[in-house]
Amino acid sequence: MLGDVHTRPKSQALFDKIRADILEGQFAPGHWLKLLDLERRYGARRSEVRSALSSLSERGIVEYSKNRGFSVFQRSPEEVRELTEIIVALEATAAPSIVERATPQDIEALEALAREFDALTEHVNHAQLRLKNYQFHGQLNSLAANALLGKTVRTLRECSVLGPFNRYASYQGLKESSREHFALLDALRRKDVPTFSRILHDHASHVD
């Protein structure tokens, strides 16, 4: 899960494009990623596509099956819960330094993402909501004093983006998630570590 020790793809641009398309929901969990189709879609060489998929496999975004190829990782509710437990524990460690290091500019950028997420709740596009939520928390965890911890949490959240998340199944659940984003920002502005930590723990713990 440690981003800096993963194999680097032959084409970083291709890796980024495929990764973004998966996280945006253009390839659903369980979808088989055929090399020829991806070559044509992205105008890339076979070796570049295979290298990008291998790197995505190391990050837990796609899965390799011998003699079958690569598919988008399809996580069970139990796997998502296990990932969530690790995320909650790591974010608890990072929370005090996030509060200490957050500048007004950081909070302003986070608020823009929170407002975009809130606007998306009216359209209930799950793929876009998941991606925007990932972006919000990625930006938040980038503020951690321990850069490797922040990267690890972002990688774990990236993996869990592809899993079942029943909180998004209702409008009420979406709105509650959105309210918690703004509550986190309020605690950041007040430099209130206990409140920020409590809200972050409760928010991250929701998997159903």
Find out whether 166 and 76 touch, Cβ atoms under 8 Å: no
104 and 173 in a common domain: yes
Which of 49, 72, 95 is the C-terminal boundary of a domain?
Answer: 72
**Structural domains of the chain, count:** 2
pLDDT tens, 87-108?
Answer: 999 999 999 999 999 999 999 9
pLDDT tens, 167-200?
Answer: 666 788 889 999 999 999 999 999 999 999 999 9
What is the dihedral sign for C-alpha 110, 111, 112, 114? positive
Residues 6+ apart with CB under 8 A from 176: 167
Which of 48, 72, 96 is the C-terminal boundary of a domain?
Answer: 72
Mean pLDDT of the chain, nearest integer: 87
What does the DSSP assignment read for 54-68? HHHHHTTSEEEETTT
* Domain at 42, CATH number: 1.10.10.10
pLDDT of residue 2: 42
pLDDT tens, 124-152?
Answer: 677 788 888 888 999 999 999 999 998 88
How many Cβ atoms from other residues are within 10 Å of residue 98's Cβ?
23
